[in-house]
Amino acid sequence: MKITVAYVGTRFAGWQRQLNAPTVQETIERAAAVVEGGAVAVHGAGRTDAGVHARGQVAHFDTARTMEAGAWLRALNAHLPDDVRVSQAMVAAPDFHARHSAGGKTYSYRLDLRAVPSPFDAPFAWHVGPEMDLDALRNAANALLGPLDQRAFATQPETGGRPQRPLTAISVAVDAGQALIVVEGRSFLRHAVRGMVGTMVEVGRGRRETDSVRAAARSGIRADAGATAPAHGLCLERVHYDAE
Amino acid sequence: MKITVAYVGTRFAGWQRQLNAPTVQETIERAAAVVEGGAVAVHGAGRTDAGVHARGQVAHFDTARTMEAGAWLRALNAHLPDDVRVSQAMVAAPDFHARHSAGGKTYSYRLDLRAVPSPFDAPFAWHVGPEMDLDALRNAANALLGPLDQRAFATQPETGGRPQRPLTAISVAVDAGQALIVVEGRSFLRHAVRGMVGTMVEVGRGRRETDSVRAAARSGIRADAGATAPAHGLCLERVHYDAE
């Protein structure tokens, strides 16, 4: 079964199962176990960090039950808490793997530009305030297109993976006192999107030149880039699969 | 000082100070006491129930400090949690009273019409699902205009107050899988907005005729109307003052 999952990350210690901390993976596995009548291992497309949200996380699991996808969707949601919802369920091809089959991901990052942020947006946007040069923010975003060594923006970079992971697209949209940064790429090193956003915000605040963003993207040296933006502004919007 | 306050009601036992339960009033009084350097009594325009939100609650308090309104706004927000924000602070006329001076209130109530509700909206919308006749919902709303004995929709009706409290306006707007009901009136009995919404939803579900809404509005008999809608869909949008 392939499921698309939305969740508010606020109270979770991230996606991946942990000892002694609530995670989204464990929450879904528990609901699936009730429906299945036995243990179910749920594999996600990516491990979102503590506090990170998702509108379009994708996961898969094996089931021995002969139950339609629509019935799985309703049954899972009946056993999930309000802050986790399965928005789609489909029968997956036998070789489908949520992580290995993924061809790309879209993340959004929300900045709150208002002097006084709305309490309704506080769990979903980084409050950076009105002192933000939006043209500079857009220039910094554009500077991330082209060669991109994600080690400049990531923390705990995986030693085995390719560090050269260019973005396929990036955009900055401003509306109602907020800036929404959307980043698309085939894959991301850990915390890399948050490192890119943190660096962009330093440019928007006039504390860093656009050229330094391009230089960091080429050097791959963490110290060349800016701080890591907080988790709660980030949302995994979509996981892309080649068939789509 | 007159302040306008927005809050996410989810974790609060309502506006009004209580023993052994967190309330918005107490939260603001604590922040104000730190800024004032002494106890401050904060008086709200209305007592929102447990779980009810506000974008435009209004409150007033007396202060012995000579501090500008803008400084009060910043200082209060610096001592408030993220789910409570002061959006405006003004020096109030000596005879201003947040409740007694109020000339009316605007409430909104959000219904989620989607088959699978978004987890991001779950704390702010009553999930009624797609089986909803929107024309019937609008007819039920219109039936609440005209003579309105709010005892038909309220719980624990105050014995002293006037029961005849007609609405000044009501609207139903549908967008992106949600219906937003906006209700305006000079004053409301306790739970009356939620009682009106619960009754409207019964009409939208085909379980009640529009005429029965008009009949309840005239009789003032609680049993003539429908169930009380849950608290978490309700939001105090604005308090009206005659000077505005």
Per-residue pLDDT tens digits for B173-188: 999 899 999 999 999 9
What's the pLDDT at A162?
87
- In the structure encoding, which two tokens stand for residue B100, read together? 């007694």
Q: How many CB pairs under 8 A join A and B?
A: 52
The number of angstroms, rounded, from the C-alpha of A117 to the middle of its chain's C-alpha atoms is 23
Per mean pLDDT, which range of A98-107, B84-93, B235-244 is the poorest? B235-244
Picking from B16, B67, B65, the residue whose alpha carbon sits closest to that of residue B40 is B65
Give yes or no for A82 touching B (CB within 8 A): yes
Q: Are B210 and B139 in contact (CB under 8 A)?
A: yes
Nearest C-alpha in A relative to B116: A87
Nearest C-alpha in B relative to A119: B83
B45/chain A closest Cα distance in angstroms: 19
Please name the residues in contact with A42: beta carbons below 8 A apart, sequence gap of 6 or more: A25, A28, A29, A32, A59, A60, A61
Q: Which of A27, A55, A77, A82 to mutate to test the interface with B (most CBs of B within 10 A)?
A: A82
CB neighbours (10 Å) of residue A244? 8
Sort A91 into a burial class: Cβ within 10 Å, 0-12 / 13-18 / 19+: exposed
CB neighbours (10 Å) of residue A133? 13
Give yes or no for A130 touching B (CB within 8 A): no
Mean confidence (pLDDT) of chain B? 95
Chain B residue numbers touching A73 (CB-CB < 8 A) = 116
Give yes or no for A8 touching B (CB within 8 A): yes
Cβ contact A119–B77 (<8 Å): no
Residue B243: pLDDT band by 50, 70, 90 thresholds?
A: low
Chain B residue numbers touching A8 (CB-CB < 8 A) = 119-120, 122
Q: Cα(A176)–Cα(B182) distance, rounded to whole angstroms?
A: 21
**Tokens 């004995």 appear where?**
B149
Residue B156: pLDDT band by 50, 70, 90 thresholds?
A: confident
Give yes or no for B72 touching A (CB within 8 A): no
CB neighbours (10 Å) of residue B56? 18
Chain A residue numbers touching B72 (CB-CB < 8 A) = none
Nearest to B82 among A7, A55, A119 (CB): A119
What's the pLDDT at A159?
59
Residue count (chain B):
244
CB neighbours (10 Å) of residue A221? 12
DSSP A93: P
Report residue A106: phi and psi, to 5°.
-115, 125
Residue B4: pLDDT band by 50, 70, 90 thresholds?
A: very high
Residue B157: pLDDT band by 50, 70, 90 thresholds?
A: low
DSSP B120: T
ipTM of the complex: 0.84
A215-243: average pLDDT: 95
What's the pLDDT at B161?
75
**Collapsing DSSP states into helix, strand and coil, what is residue B211?**
helix
What's the pLDDT at A156?
73
Note if B49 is an active site residue.
Answer: yes
Cβ contact B7–A119 (<8 Å): yes
Per-residue pLDDT tens digits for A133-144: 999 999 999 999
| pTM metric for this prediction | 0.89
